[in-house]
Structure 1
Amino acid sequence: MTTFYTVIDWLMVFGYWLLIAGVTLRILMKRRAVPSSMAWLLVIYILPLVGIVAYLSFGELHLGRRRAERAKAMWPSTASRLNKLKESRRIFATEYSPVARPLFQLCDRRQGIDGVKGNQLQLFTTTDETLKALIRDIGLARHNIDMVFYIWQPGGLIDQVAESLMAAARRGVHCRLMLDSAGSLQFFRSSYPSMMRRAGIKVVEALKVNLLRVFLRRMDLRQHRKVVLVDNYIAYTGSMNMVDPRYFKQDAGVGQWIDLMARMEGPVATTIGIVYACDWEIETGKRIFPPPPDVNIMPCEQESGHTIQVIASGPGFPEELIHQALLTAVYSAREQLIMSTPYFVPSDDLLHAICTAALRGVKVSIIVPRGNDSTMVRWASRAFFSELLEAGVNIYQFTGGLLHTKSVLVDGQLSLIGTVNLDMRSLWLNFEITLVIDDDGFGSDLACVQEDYIARSTLLNAKEWQKRPFWHRLLERLFYFFSPFL
């Protein structure tokens, strides 16, 4: 009997080490950043069982078998739509500014489509003006309304949006609503899903959280896009979730969320519609066919209007494109680079590019919120401040609430706005969307918004920063260790 238990013990020990060796080999075989690999290996060796469970749950990009198959299967039809769209040559830009040309060339080669011109573009800097404009457009919709959001939380003006959407569905407008399961938890626990479905709205819970499938699909892979399409001609996107900041996360102690949204009219709605169709097919398995753009909607006098490129990222879309786009934009800067983000946990490559820009004489400014709803991100982001300050980067800490705007402005000409945070999760994991605009007029508008943010911020003093307490430095380095996971 003693021999039997001895054999069992040795088998358990052998299995334990075999499991660790197998996961180690799996980590080493995956092509990923060295810091990320080292972080995972350290977690697994220090806390083996916890580390192995964590890695199998969050360490790899598991979209799930069915979604992965749908993502692979959708590309032939998507390529066909893009080729059909290219027949409308009149809507595509052929000339770009020198600072924007490298980025648009990258997007064209990786996504197979140029930027589209002739778009009307309007920036909204407050939630009220965004929601009121959206309610008006929903009220005028005649054919279809398609929405996707990470968070939809009932309350305040959001309930008016819901009512207008249900009224549109009742009068025959085809309405689709796709919401992330984790982000919109309160919505799916409310009465709104059943009310909307009774009104005729197709409501889809994207990437449904299911602990029973934790090893079959990565649970922290989220649908982070914020998009509204109306009649295949009007489009909205930006950083704003479908929440009223007066009712959202009031107990977080960071103030109201500050967002930026863009309202567009023109051919860009067609390219955003293709992205939405891909998301819908990946999630539901059902294919929708956005109509081709009507070239008559673009008057001749608008042909040289706003030129916009849409970058879609996430599983099933061109890998690492948003990261490459940000690097290209930063390296294109010659005079000025302004970036705003609520969560600043950059990759080593992006951090190096930002510091290099400052060292070669570019005036670089980064605007982040002083308070943050994520304690881990707040401390991890501070670990990068010393290196940025040494390179000459201006770091502004916004004090007027939680600055949630994601924006990049290069030399007053090239603008990037959308849903992408400067953190690992947005750069490598989530479904995101970014607009790239080549226009000095729009750049001037964005600069005014960013200057307003800076006016409501405090500039971080390098000398004062060096005097921060030792325990602050310790926490920064501790949470920096987890930066590859944030």
Structure 2
Amino acid sequence: MTTWQQIWEFIKEWYWIPMLILYVGVIITILSENRSPSKSLAYMLVLVFLPVIGLIVYYFVGRKPLFKKTAFEKKRLVDRQKMQQYYQQLKPEMEERLLMLEQKIGNMALPFRYLYYQHQSLISKDNCVTLLNNGEEKFPALFEAIENAGAHIHIEYYILTADDVGNRLTDILIKKSREGVKVRVIADDVGSKKLKDIPSRLREAGIPFLRTMPVAFTSLANSNYRNHRKIAIIDGVIGFIGGINLDDRYWNNGKHELYWRDTAVKIEGPAVKLLQVQFILSWFFSGGKDDFGNGDDYFGKKHEKKGDAIVAFAASGPNSEASYVMETILLAINQARKSVRICTPYFIPTDQLTSALVIAAANGVEVELILPEKSDSFIVQHASFSFIKPLLERGVRVYLYKKGFIHSKTISIDGTLAFVGTVNMDTRSFFLNFEITSVVYEGAFCRSLEESFEKDKNNSRLITIEYWQSRSFIHRGFDSVCRLVAPLL
């Protein structure tokens, strides 16, 4: 027997010892991180039943990132420091505005109060908020606003693709840069993998282009924490936010088989300054230089009254001390007296969210939830389906959207308070990704969102408890199996 054969025989006989040590070390690490019991158990089940694959999964998505206690905590401190000056300067005005809101809408003002005191999120009035359904409405409005830009353009998106939409946007940005408009672009490193030559074209035109949290072999665990935001700001006076990425899929122009239903909003007024703050904080975190001067070009202009909407933004991420987005949503649901209407493409709720929905339904609130009948993720879809039965049993009305894939991320409370943004109703959006949602109080806008919800209901089918229980054993089995890994999704 050769030396190499002897070595191979030794490895085959004793390889289990280092593997056992490795597994024990990983399990101790999981337990010491004090995650939620469901998430810890899910990782350990994957490790036990899928030995090698389980280790790979944990390495990629389970470990807390190497820079979590440095970059994320630094971002949290920087965010607070940069917000503090605005917070203190506007404190008397904000407290007066909160008092006015409470007198006008009672407990429905509590989400605004929470965001102000816990998240230092300022509250703006005199805004015009326009609902944009699908890419067919958003992209023309976005391109027109960018074409008319005179000072600066800020773009921050999870997905930017080198297709018709992405290339057209790039052409316009380069054109505006040559006209002297200051342009900055941020794209997520994982979401925007099909950029082709867009970064080089932008940089050649003198446009700074940054990737959020670039993923390399030495930082694979960081791929679990993404910038899921979709923000565009033009001249500090027009802003866009919502679920629509810069990708052809969101424009139903006949080139794609699957109809893509999504929602965004166009905001005009002082709220855009608050959106500007979030972009600038992302710019610093992504490695951008502090080249915003004294800020007058971005925050100094006094806004004219554009409308009657009161707007705040709930933003959170892996750097947050708490899930401000989730807690704001829970607080809003708890104030509902008439209705709660939610659209979400992915539904992996926390126990708190499930409890809030069933308690609202038990108290006579009409709770309605629209989910996609067909999803772009088999595992996430079946994991989502596993959470439906308890809701049906407690009176929540669940609809499955059948016209295509619904990617909207909207919430309407009593037809008077609205959320439109990037936040899915899942643990990833609540705890892992950088997310943002607008919180809007304004009658006309909320009515338009309610009308949109009704149209989506007409393209959906209502699920009954009898139907749900009658599904085949295979379908219900897929739901149960996928739910085991739901805390990891």
Say yes or no: TM over 0.5.
Answer: yes
Equivalent position of 2:24 in the other structure: 21
Equivalent position of 1:475 in the other structure: 478
2 CA distance for matches of 1:136 and 1:448? 26
What amino acid sits opposite 1:472 in the alignment?
H
Equivalent position of 2:358 in the other structure: 355
1:182 to 190, 195, 198: 190
Contact 2:132 2:265 in 1 (8 A): yes
**Cα pair distance change 1:326/1:72, threshold 3 Å:** closer
The answer as to 2:323 corresponding to 1:315 is no
The answer as to 2:142 corresponding to 1:144 is no
TM-score, scaled to structure 1: 0.90
**Cα pair distance change 1:451/1:6, threshold 3 Å:** closer
Equivalent position of 2:395 in the other structure: 392
What amino acid sits opposite 2:159 in the alignment?
I
Structure 1 residue 157: deviation in Å? 4.2
Please give the residue correspondences for 1:197-346 in structure 2 after superposition, counting only pairs within 5 Å: 197-214=203-220, 217-245=221-249, 255-284=258-287, 286-289=289-292, 290-291=295-296, 293-294=299-300, 296-299=302-305, 305-346=308-349
| Greater shift in the superposed pair: 393-402 or 314-323 | 314-323
Structure 1 residue 192: deviation in Å? 2.1
Equivalent position of 1:438 in the other structure: 441
Structure 1 residue 128: deviation in Å? 2.4
How far does the alpha carbon of each residue in 1:413-434 deviate from its partner, in whole angstroms, 9 at most, with x for none?
Answer: 1111100011121111111111
The answer as to 2:138 corresponding to 1:130 is yes
How far does the alpha carbon of each residue in 1:11-47 deviate from its partner, in whole angstroms, 9 at most, with x for none?
Answer: 9655444433332222222232221111112222333
Secondary structure of the structure 1 residue equivalent to 2:161: coil
The alignment covers a number of residue pairs equal to 476
Structure 1 residue 344: deviation in Å? 1.2
Structure 1 residue 158: deviation in Å? 4.0
Secondary structure of the structure 2 residue equivalent to 1:342: coil
2 CA distance for matches of 1:21 and 1:208? 30
How far does the alpha carbon of each residue in 1:401-421 deviate from its partner, in whole angstroms, 9 at most, with x for none?
Answer: 211110011111111110001
User: Matched residues, percent identical?
Assistant: 28
Secondary structure of the structure 1 residue equivalent to 2:248: coil
**Cα pair distance change 1:90/1:322, threshold 3 Å:** closer
Equivalent position of 1:379 in the other structure: 382
**Cα pair distance change 1:83/1:410, threshold 3 Å:** closer
| Greater shift in the superposed pair: 10-19 or 162-171 | 10-19
How far does the alpha carbon of each residue in 1:147-199 deviate from its partner, in whole angstroms, 9 at most, with x for none?
Answer: 01111123334433222111111111110111112211111xx2222222222
**Cα pair distance change 1:61/1:278, threshold 3 Å:** farther
**Cα pair distance change 1:12/1:154, threshold 3 Å:** closer
Secondary structure of the structure 2 residue equivalent to 1:387: helix
2 CA distance for matches of 1:201 and 1:10? 58
2:119 to 111, 114, 117: 111
Structure 1 residue 225: deviation in Å? 0.2
Equivalent position of 1:453 in the other structure: 456
2 CA distance for matches of 1:179 and 1:10? 49
Structure 1 residue 439: deviation in Å? 2.3
Secondary structure of the structure 2 residue equivalent to 1:334: coil
What amino acid sits opposite 1:361 in the alignment?
G
Structure 1 unaligned blocks of 5 or more: none
Structure 1 residue 85: deviation in Å? 5.4
**Cα pair distance change 1:309/1:192, threshold 3 Å:** same
Contact 2:249 2:256 in 1 (8 A): no
1 CA distance for matches of 2:486 and 2:377? 13
**Cα pair distance change 1:365/1:5, threshold 3 Å:** closer
> What is the Cα-based RMSD across aligned positions, in Å?
2.8
2 CA distance for matches of 1:228 and 1:116? 18
What amino acid sits opposite 1:159 in the alignment?
N
Structure 1 residue 202: deviation in Å? 1.1
1 CA distance for matches of 2:71 and 2:161? 26
**Cα pair distance change 1:403/1:285, threshold 3 Å:** same
Secondary structure of the structure 2 residue equivalent to 1:98: helix
1 CA distance for matches of 2:43 and 2:332? 30
The answer as to 2:372 corresponding to 1:369 is yes
Equivalent position of 2:410 in the other structure: 407
2 CA distance for matches of 1:281 and 1:354? 37
What amino acid sits opposite 2:147 in the alignment?
G
How far does the alpha carbon of each residue in 1:34-65 deviate from its partner, in whole angstroms, 9 at most, with x for none?
Answer: 21111112222333443334223312442736
2 CA distance for matches of 1:297 and 1:357? 39
2 CA distance for matches of 1:24 and 1:381? 27
2 CA distance for matches of 1:454 and 1:250? 23
**Cα pair distance change 1:479/1:229, threshold 3 Å:** same
Secondary structure of the structure 1 residue equivalent to 2:224: coil
Structure 1 residue 69: deviation in Å? 6.2
2 CA distance for matches of 1:257 and 1:229? 24
